[in-house]
Amino acid sequence: MVLILRLVEVLEEAIRSLSRTGRTVVVSDGKYSYTIASKTGRGPILVKVMVDGNDINEEHAVDLLIFSRLGVTSIIVAERDGKEELEDDTVYRKEGLSMISPKTLGNIANGKMPKLFKDRGMIKARVNGKVLRKMRQEHSLSLGEIAEALSVGRRTIYEYEKGNMEAAGERAMALMELFGSDVLEDADLSPRQDEKTLSKRITRLRAGSFVMQVHSLASAHAKFAETLDEPLLLDYDIREEAVKISEILGLGYAVIDDGKIDIIRPSHGNGD
């Protein structure tokens, strides 16, 4: 019961975050690979809302990875990762997907990208070396002076400026305090796709004499996704919610019927 209540709270926070910035559809049936489809100023987003990100199953994760190939930002929003509570404005990884807190989702929807990410057990950030060098020179600071402020060696600051080294979390925050958020690169939300896993979902779809290669979807509002030539969802029936979701995500929607493919809704890209 407690878990259900926490899930509702996380979901409500995610919905509030996205509803302020664009058109949003909440998928009520928990069997689907995603919980929210939203059209935002940063483009279309599919969100799987969970309390514990560890609970994502591979089937749902692969569906979301396939949607990312259609130009849709696909992410997991969770409260924690196992026993670890997710830090705000920090990007984690789960099954190749980006995982963030509900507050971070709201910040992204409002145009504030996270700067920190967790990699191999450590919170880090990528330093924008050109900005760091420019700001250092504008403030007439030496490499040694910044190094002393961050309690690191002069060589470390040199490597930051060259773009050869990531900054640990505390040092990244110190750099932001000194020079503002632009001194750090935005964290990467793009998925890390396992081609071998995705290739298992590739199938050939025949409609009359026409044959196309598509990805099968396990738990989505459509059976197939065309990811090569045009962002397109395909099914054997017209489903109202599926058409609505395809519209929000800027994807085409087609029905396979009587040996032919009928385009119900053409693709417009990025939800436009």
User: Apex CA 151: angle with CA 147 and CA 153, to 5°?
Assistant: 50
Q: Which residues, at least 6 apart from 54, have a Cβ–Cβ distance to it below 8 Å?
A: 81, 82, 94
Tens-digit pLDDT profile for residues 159-189: 999 999 999 999 999 999 999 999 999 999 9
- pTM for the model stands at 0.88
Q: Is 239 helix (H, G, I), strand (E, B) or coil?
A: coil
Q: Assign residue 151 a region: left if phi > 0, alpha if psi is -120 to 50, beta otherwise?
A: left
Q: Rounded to an integer, what distance in angstroms lies between the CA atom of residue 271 and that of residue 261? A: 22
- CA-only gyration radius of the chain, Å: 21
Q: Rounded to an integer, what distance in angstroms lies between the CA atom of residue 228 and that of residue 66? A: 11
Question: Residue 270 pLDDT more than 60?
Answer: no
Q: Which residues, at least 6 apart from 194, have a Cβ–Cβ distance to it below 8 Å?
A: 65, 96
Closest to 269 (Cα-Cα) out of 80, 72, 84: 72
- Six-digit token string for 232: 């397109």
**In sequence order, what DSSP letters do the residues of 163-214 get, joined into one string?**
T--EEEHHHHHHHHHHH-GGGBPPPP-S----HHHHHTTEEEEEETTEEEEE
Q: Give the confidence band of 20 by pLDDT, cuts at 50, 70, 90.
A: low
Q: Which residues, at least 6 apart from 195, have a Cβ–Cβ distance to it below 8 Å?
A: none
pLDDT value of position 269: 56
Tens-digit pLDDT profile for residues 46-66: 999 999 999 999 999 999 999
Section 200-208 average pLDDT: 84
Question: Residue 4 pLDDT more than 70?
Answer: no
Tens-digit pLDDT profile for residues 210-259: 778 899 999 999 999 987 777 889 999 888 888 889 999 999 999 988 77
Tens-digit pLDDT profile for residues 68-107: 999 999 999 999 999 999 999 999 999 999 999 998 988 8
- Six-digit token string for 172: 């990244």
